[in-house]
Amino acid sequence: MKEFNIKDLLDEEFQIFAGRIGSGKTEIAINVAIKMKEAGIKNTLFDMDIVKPYVRIRDLKETLIPKYHLDIVAPPDITRTLDLPIFPKFIIGKLQERGTQKILDVGGDPYGAGAIAQFREVMPEGTYNFFFVVNTRRPETSTKDEILKAMAVIQNASRMKITGIVFNTNLRWETTEETLKRGFEIVKEVSDYTKLPVVFGCVDEMHKEIAENLGIPILPLKLFVNPLPKMGV
């Protein structure tokens, strides 16, 4: 297995990750920030996901900041239970900060992706990598046509161009080599049709062996999002 070299992202200043619910975009954005930090690359992780169907970076920052010393820009804590395009007043200054990589976790529906359209002047074309994260085992991205439709929605809402695909098909602990193989066949169809590269794939760092034969660079992931809801006592 060829491990993805995080320094391959340094051609652009902004790393934008978007995807439908359950794509794993938040996990990937967090892991990219951690990998850059470990490589001595200064970076800021932006929670730009205004939609709350699941978990956002702001819900995890109490764990991430002390343990990994990440620089995180997130909406105020009061917005944790809200779906509003509320960003800190200083966000423009942080996005314009020089000498640091900016990693953005963006919502994957028209409302969420549309929230970053207001920052297009700060992130003009040619300064960003815009990755569409695909998990083919989730609703709305299980076929080539569904993925193409989801990508079009995000591009239209954000008014920005997707530049690459991140392959993240998984069923959490039930993911097998066959799961990845079948998912990659679909994503490869999308790549061939759109002429967009599959830049890297992802797999749980505890089970890297199942990605041995994919033929693309792999980013092993530390998993932070618990897929099971917390149950009351």
Q: Mean pLDDT, to the nearest integer, of 89-94? A: 85
pLDDT tens-digit series, residues 104-139: 999 888 888 888 998 999 999 999 999 999 999 999
More confident residue, 155 or 111: 155
Q: Mean pLDDT, to the nearest integer, of 80-105? A: 80
Q: So what's the pLDDT on residue 231?
A: 42
Q: Is residue 86 predicted with pLDDT exceeding 70?
A: no
Q: Is residue 90 predicted with pLDDT exceeding 90?
A: no
pLDDT tens-digit series, residues 156-207: 999 999 999 999 999 988 999 999 999 999 999 999 999 999 999 999 999 9
- Each as own residue / partner, the long-range contacts of residues 71-79 (CB below 8 Å, 24 or more positions apart, any chain) are 71/43, 71/44, 71/45, 71/100, 72/44, 72/45, 72/46, 72/47, 73/44, 73/45, 73/46, 73/47, 74/46, 74/47, 75/47, 75/50
Q: Which two tokens stand for residue 231?
A: 């149950």
Which percentage of the chain shows pLDDT scores above 70? 86
Q: Which two tokens stand for residue 103?
A: 């990693």
**Homologous superfamily (CATH) for 6-221:** P-loop containing nucleotide triphosphate hydrolases (3.40.50.300)
Q: Is residue 233 predicted with pLDDT exceeding 50?
A: no
pLDDT tens-digit series, residues 27-82: 999 999 999 999 999 999 998 887 654 556 666 777 777 788 899 988 766 555 55
Q: Compute the distance between CA of residue 95 and CA of residue 141 in angstroms, rounded to an integer.
A: 30
Q: b/e per residue, 39-55, with b = 16+ CB within 10 A?
A: eebebbbbbbbbbbeee
Q: So what's the pLDDT on residue 104?
A: 96
